[in-house]
Chain A
Amino acid sequence: MTVRTTEDTVGSLYSNDAELAFVEGEVARIMFTAGLDWADIDTTTIDDIVNKIRETYEEGLSLVLGAEGHRQAADDWNFVKQQMLIEVVRRAWRRRALAIGRA
């Protein structure tokens, strides 16, 4: 779809189909990244996705013997990816709920 202008359609340029397609793509990518499958979206909740992200990108997995009390760089990486993915999926999930509600 190309850029829409108000020459013909003042006040109605919003496309719910395009919005839904984009945010579902975002949710699908994050589900895949966390180890979930978009094919299961109808039975997947935001709780499932957030909890799976926390499990997959768990902080503390890289602790090695003798390194107790110190945080490993890999742990930092896991943590920041976990936080980022949760934040992005929460926004995408809410946008998806809005778009579904307006379909």
Chain B
Amino acid sequence: MKNVTINAQGLVKHFPIKLGLFKTLVSKENPFVHAVDGVSFHIASGEVFGLVGESGCGKTTTGRLLVRLLDLTEGQVTFKGTDLTSLSKKEMGRLRRQMQIIFQDPYESLDPRMSIYDIIAEPVRIQKTAENESEVSQKVAKSLEEFGMIPAEEYMYRFAHELSGGQRQRVSIARAFVLRPEFIVADEPVSMLDASIRSEVLKLLLATQKKYKTAFLYITHDIALARHVCDRLAVMYLGKIVEKGSTEEVIHEPLHPYTEALIAAVPVPDPTARRIRVTLKGEVPSAINPPTGCRFNTRCPHAMEICRKKEPPLIEVNKGHFVACHLHTKK
């Protein structure tokens, strides 16, 4: 593995559930939400790695664990060889210059009381990457213009509420890129935007990512979009990776029944293409008591006896293409 920017090994995150006083005294075990349960992957520099799954599958939690916005229950994250879990808060703060996050909702991730200028200047000031204020303003202007907010002066002194959704998300992306980080977590950066604006923002985002060779974790529920964005992707279900590999391989030769269902569920923007649809029954089971064995067995059309008992390991079927399913485990 060359140029690995970020490496996640066996990430586990359990959120404790708060019980009432009586239950705390009576019950023996503390229940947990198993948000992320043993997730491993690496991202090379300049690579876009996608994390795909339904809501509640733990993809956002994984993203936050990588930049240590949440602390791990178990596992290890290394950023260019440095173990993040061993760092103190101060050291971590310094390292944040190299790792940033773009949040999903541009309506909530920008401070309504700060001007656009201050929003983008804030990371620069905190990390002290500029000598003086004129350099700060240069950086802010350049970053805004990179994302199509031209001329920057027209937008700089406005507030978030004066901008449209697409413009806000551009600001939030500009803020993530202003420090030239080496790793960015993009958590559904365009899911709140309209189609016509979405592709424009996405284009700018990917062009900038290519330009600076940023390692990217792209979190999305839309597998069609992931196909256009990612080099490699992993499909998550209930806190676990069920399939991982190069994007084209996963989409054209899906091995896991869940991946198949996910692909079949995507509506196709072509009325003449009528496909046979595998619709899954039911909904994602609770992550408090996930099903035993394979977590997908309750909804899987191919579920066998073994699936209810034994958890399938993530094995490499083809080079770089991993799957966790008993249908593909060698006897």
Please say whether chains A and B are actual partners in one complex. no
Binding site for A on B (CB under 8 A): none
